[in-house]
Amino acid sequence: MATSKTRLPESPPKKRIRKRLHTRLHRWLGMGSLVIVLIISVTGIALNHTASLKLDQRRVTWAPILKHYGMEPEEEPVVFKAGDRLLASWEGQVILDETIIDFAPPEGELIGAGAADDGLLVYVFPQLLLVVQEDGQIFDRLDAASLPASPIQKAGTREGRLILQTLDGENFHLRDWLEPVPDKGEDPIWFAAESSLSAPQRDRLATAFRGEGLSLSRIILDLHSGRLFGSIGVILYDLAAVCLVILGITGTMLWLRRR
């Protein structure tokens, strides 16, 4: 007697479609979030071993990264030369060669610079003179109240002296102990002009502007959180987290259906 094989009833069309959608959703969400999950995993492992990997001690000075963090200047520096020394003002930083001077410049651009007596160097701003030693340490500051007239419009040299000229056309120089006195010299004044920089000279100033750079741990932490990519990065990481939740749900549903 022939026996017939029993056939299991096929799944209803709606059930098959729903299962197919869940499978595709699970697959595409997994593929889409894979890169971000890998980044979070690798950077998380690195951050857990910050001390042993010495991430805090490793510095990053790559210009594109520093520019992303606002540590790379966008404009060109204002530079004057005193002999072979470079005296510069660059986006809120006062620089002597490769040394950042601990001084917040006043409003108004650096309009001149030069050497005074005893090896002192003078940065000339419209309302202030900043006097520094050869090693970049601040020696004195002369503000508008200490100057005979201000604002200053030009700085130059005459007979080896640093000459300051006001908007009224008055000239004065710095006597002993940095006392400004009228200058009555008759020789012409050689007014300082901004200096052009060679590539190595600009690199020296840029190195000072950047400082030691960023710690590698800071960059890895921002990469781990998505903040390295700004607000868009944070949103993408949030979406990846949502995808992981959905993956867990759809994966569980698919597993239960197969049982």
Domain ranges for the chain? 13-62+214-258, 73-210
pLDDT of residue 137: 93
Q: Is the pLDDT of residue 191 over 90?
A: no
pLDDT of residue 216: 93
pLDDT in tens, 21-71: 666 766 776 676 778 888 888 999 999 999 999 999 998 888 888 888 888
In whole angstroms, give the CA distance from residue 155 to residue 183: 13
Question: Other C-beta atoms within 10 Å of 226: how many?
Answer: 21
Question: Other C-beta atoms within 10 Å of 169: how many?
Answer: 9
pLDDT of residue 189: 79
Residue 1 — pLDDT band, cuts 50, 70, 90? very low
In whole angstroms, give the CA distance from residue 201 to residue 182: 35
Segment 86-103 mean pLDDT: 89
Segment 129-145 mean pLDDT: 88
In whole angstroms, give the CA distance from residue 216 to residue 228: 12
Residue 95 — pLDDT band, cuts 50, 70, 90? very high
Residue 96 — pLDDT band, cuts 50, 70, 90? very high
pLDDT of residue 200: 86
Q: Which residue has the higher pLDDT, 144 or 139?
A: 139
Q: Does domain 73-210 have CATH number 2.60.40?
A: no
Share of the chain above pLDDT 90, in %: 16
Segment 161-184 mean pLDDT: 77
Share of the chain above pLDDT 70, in %: 85
Segment 234-249 mean pLDDT: 83
- State the chain's mean pLDDT as an integer: 81
